[in-house]
Amino acid sequence: MLNDSVPTVGRSSNTVNDSGKSVTGERVLLVEDDPSILATLKYNFGMEGYEVLVALDGAEALTLARSRSPSLIVLDVMLPIMSGTEVCRSLRAEGDTVPILMLTARTEEVDRVVGLEIGADDYMVKPFSVREVVAKVAAMLRRVEMLTAEGADQPEERLSIGDMIIDLAGREVSRDGVVIHLRPKEYDLLVYLAQDRGRAFSRDQLLQHVWGYDYAGDTRTVDVHVRWLRQKIEENPSAPEHVLTVRGMGYRFAPASNSA
């Protein structure tokens, strides 16, 4: 639910905060065709110190994403000219890994699944709390920063798991020399589990460490990504040998002796 009362927003787009500069150093692209929702989001992100770009349709969003390189995109599914899913699909096809948070209506479960399938990092259901959107975006950006720092400090550049190789520096997974194409969050989930083989993680722990949430998220996001990951790395996804279910808790990666 949106409670803040702020002026409506037009198409010209780059207001940040009162100083005219981004305090956080992060640039967020907000894409929403409802001017009142967009104005409220823009106001609140600006107050938090973000540089804010806005777009009212998918075509404008794609242009801004390509030309202004935002740190993260908050992307409504139902947009004029070009849908949010089409924007997301186009960016991922171009190799753009910018974090994307999709906004969907409560009844649009198919859209949520499709959004995740084409590479969105997560979704939020309308009506939503503006504070929750801001908190989720902050958590997603912190996670990106943590992964970047971990990659820079990572002494081990490759993980070998049987015939599967995880190239940590190149963020690439291959088996017998053939690249396995993973979505960004599938890769992050695989690396997090594989770097601590044998340890069981709850779904909430995985949400916190892989998705970066500091509060309870939707654990179905974890289950969906595990299913997709198994389809790509397991010889038989129905009887996985690597990513194992811990009943009543979550998941673990098979110990080295089981996955070699």
Evaluate if residue 68 carries a pLDDT over 90.
Answer: yes
Evaluate if residue 129 carries a pLDDT over 60.
Answer: yes
pLDDT digits (tens, 9 = 90+) for 175-201: 988 999 888 889 999 999 998 999 999
Evaluate if residue 3 carries a pLDDT over 60.
Answer: no
- Provide, rounded to the nearest whole percent, the portion of the chain with pLDDT above 70: 79
Residues 6+ apart with CB under 8 A from 39: 6, 7, 8, 9
- Return the percent helix, strand and coil in the chain, to nearest 5: 40, 20, 40
**For residue 15, what pLDDT band results from cuts at 50, 70 and 90?**
very low
**For residue 19, what pLDDT band results from cuts at 50, 70 and 90?**
very low
Residue of 81, 82, 80, 103 whose CA lies nearest to 2: 103
Residues 6+ apart with CB under 8 A from 18: none
| List of E strands, the chain | 27-31, 51-55, 72-76, 100-105, 122-126, 158-161, 164-167, 172-175, 178-180, 200-202, 243-246, 250-253
**For residue 107, what pLDDT band results from cuts at 50, 70 and 90?**
low
- Distance between CA atoms of residues 28 and 140, nearest Å: 12
Mean pLDDT, the chain, integer: 83
The full set of domains in the chain, from first to last, is 27-148 (3.40.50.2300), 154-259 (1.10.10.10)
Give the pLDDT of residue 207. 84
